Amino acid sequence: MTRSAQATRGRSSRTVGRFAPSPSGSLHIGNLRTALAAWALARRQGGRFLLRMEDLTTGAEPVAESEQISDLALLGIDFDGPLVRQSQRRGRYDEVLADLLKRGLIYECFCTRREIRDATRAPHGPIDAYPGICADLSDTARRELLEQGRRPALRVRCGGQRAEFVDRMLGDMSGIADDFVVRRGDGLYAYNFAVVIDDADFGINQVVRGDDLVDSTPRQIALADLLGFPRPEYVHIPLVVGPDGERLSKRHGAVGLHEILANGIPIGRIRARLARSLGAEYSGQDLDPDRIPPLLNVENIPRDPWVLDPDLIEW
């Protein structure tokens, strides 16, 4: 860890939150709602809020980055510190990987997806839990696989440990952490690895994100524990779904901020509607950004997904 990261982490218990989109496409109103919640929950306690682009797999010039930043700014979501891009942090990930390697906690995995799927599933693990096929490969087997031209991914030995955590939305949670991939066969670092290092290095102590990521949390906690990093507080927010109950997407209609604005809905009205959908008691038509943080708190955020029909919603 760098000295400045250590200094960040050592600071008081002031909330440090973040929004961490992947710049692979436009943010829709559901993603923006989660961002608004994360921002408001950090800001309401006078906390800091950081923006991180999770661009490890999207290439050097992610098309959607500037559009995402301008959408967030339109809503009034502001950030502290410079924008962090995971693509610029590979040296740091190499360093952590080297440490885990030295501790004997990393092994090569030659399995294809299919081989994993076909192997017996761990009875209590996540649905795609890795059953440990390559955990103890002999040197001969390893050499043969390399000779076949297979490029191994790297997995961290979590040994199927149970990770327990309290989610402020979902309550007591627990799940098994399998030996998950930290670096893919093509050399790219995996989300579950980078996210843990980034959150720790930047002193993030409050993770507010969509509840589609709750199943990844035991893995992330297990890794944080192995690395001696403090665990952040978790707030997993139910996603926004379309009228068919499926995760909101373009096919449901006008779900992008610009499309909604182009339909003549003022930005203040969109803010008010999003804040209400997150449990804010606010009956005014328009809402300025600085009024949002005091209106939101975890206890009032609905525990069920927000069902949104883009054609019928009254902003």
CA distance 85 to 48: 18
Q: How many CB atoms lie within 10 A of CB 77?
A: 21
Sign of CA dihedral 170, 48, 193, 84: positive
Residue 207 C-beta: closest distance to ligand GLU, Å = 6
Least gap, CB of 85 to ligand GLU (angstroms): 12
- Rounded CA-CA distance 246/196 in Å is 29
Q: How far apart are CA 305 and CA 243, in angstroms?
A: 11
Nearest residue (CB) to ligand GLU, 83 versus 101? 83
Q: Which is nearer to ligand GLU, 152 or 203 (CB)?
A: 203
Burial of 273 (0-12, 13-18, 19+ CB in 10 A): buried
Which is nearer to ligand GLU, 37 or 195 (by Cβ)? Answer: 195
| Closest distance of CB 24 from ligand GLU, Å | 8
User: Are 43 and 206 spatial neighbours (Cβ–Cβ below 8 Å)?
Assistant: no
Q: Least distance from C-beta 96 to ligand GLU, angstroms?
A: 17
Report residue 211 CA to chain centroid gap.
9
Q: Quote the least distance from Cβ 81 to ligand GLU, whole Å.
A: 17
Q: Tell me the closest approach of the beta carbon of residue 18 to ligand GLU, in angstroms.
A: 7
Residue among 21 and 253 whose Cβ is closer to ligand GLU: 21
213 vs 261, beta carbon nearer ligand GLU: 213
Strands 306-307 vs 240-241: parallel, antiparallel or unpaired: parallel
Amino acid at 9: R
CB 155 → ligand GLU: shortest distance, Å? 20
Backbone angles phi, psi at 210, to 5 degrees: -65, 150
Residue 287 vs 301, nearer CB to ligand GLU:
301
Nearest residue to 286 (alpha-carbon basis) of 298, 276, 278:
276
Give the pair of three-digit tokens for residue 273.
């509607």
Q: Which residues bind ligand GLU (CB under 6 A)?
A: 20-22, 54, 195, 209, 213
Residue 213 or 227 having the CB closest to ligand GLU: 213
Kindly tell me which of 20 and 109 has the beta carbon lying closer to ligand GLU: 20
Nearest to residue 267, comparing CAs of 73, 136, 125, 108? 73
- Shortest gap between Cβ of 98 and ligand GLU (angstroms)? 24
Which string of DSSP letters, residue by residue, matches 150-212? ---EEEE--TTEEEEEEETTTEEEEEEE---EEE-TTSPBPHHHHHHHHHHHTT--EEEEEGG
Beta carbon of residue 208, minimum distance to ligand GLU (angstroms, whole number): 8
Q: Which is nearer to ligand GLU, 24 or 297 (CB)?
A: 24
Calpha distance 309→216 (Å, rounded): 29
